[in-house]
Amino acid sequence: MKSAILILFFLSILSTVFSTENSGKNPTYVIQVQQGTMLLGEIIIETFPELAPKHCANFDSLVMSSFYDGTKFHRIDPEFMIQGGDPNSKDSSKGPETWGFGSPDQKKVPAEFNDYSHVRGTLSAARGEDINSADSQFFICVKDSEFLDGEYSAFGKVLKGMDIVDAIANAPRDEKTERPNQIVTMKISKK
């Protein structure tokens, strides 16, 4: 009986150590998502400063300045990812054809490739052709996308709300531009 209790005790410790939930040491954020005029829900993410300190610091500073509030998820692909965070998407003077191109005056973050694989739920930095051109834009993998490993800087993961990510990814979209037919906006706050 005592050995069974000890085994259960050690299993509970191992479960806690290897849990995929946030251990409390990494920053967490709430992405509140609205589709059109309807509140779609929340995505809770955790960032990994020990793996990508510059990307995490950049993301945190943008969240703290309310930069992301009103930006859109401007690119969705149900077989790949959802992408957002472009300042052009919240600027009413700029049309949807500019979404995804960002602003040349944005701070660029150098690549921080690491061992965290681009699996479903991974939060990663979007960038242009230059590997050191990441800025405010990010994407969340909807499917395992290991082909991105060593090419894009993973800096976090979804803890809760993959159903919201899937709802965004599966929203009706323009096949050519990959923009959702109905605008999907976000507001991000630190938890």
Cβ 180 vs Cβ 170: under 8 Å: no
DSSP letters for 137-178: -EEEESS--GGGTTTS-EEEEEEE-HHHHHHHHTS-B-TTT-
Task: Please give the torsion angle defined by the CA atoms of residues 67, 131, 25 and 72, in that order, rounded to the nearest 10 degrees.
Answer: 30
Over residues 44-101, the pLDDT tens digits come to 999 999 999 999 999 999 999 999 999 999 999 999 999 999 999 999 899 999 999 9
Q: According to the model, what pLDDT value does residue 7 have? A: 40
Cβ count within 10 A of residue 17:
8
DSSP string, 33-96: EEETTEEEEEEEEEE-TTT-HHHHHHHHHHHHTTTTTT-BEEEEETTTEEEE--GGGG-TTS-G
- Domain map (residue ranges) of the chain: 27-190
Q: What is the pLDDT of residues 105-143, one digit of tens each?
A: 999 999 999 999 999 999 999 999 999 999 999 999 999
* Arch. (CATH architecture) of 27-190: Beta Barrel (2.40)
Q: What is the pTM of this model?
A: 0.87
Residue 29's H or E segment, with its range, is strand 28-35
Burial 28-62 (b: 16+ CB within 10 A, else e): ebbbbbbbeeeebbebbbbbbbebbebbbebbeeb
Q: Longest Cα pair distance anywhere in the chain, in angstroms?
A: 71
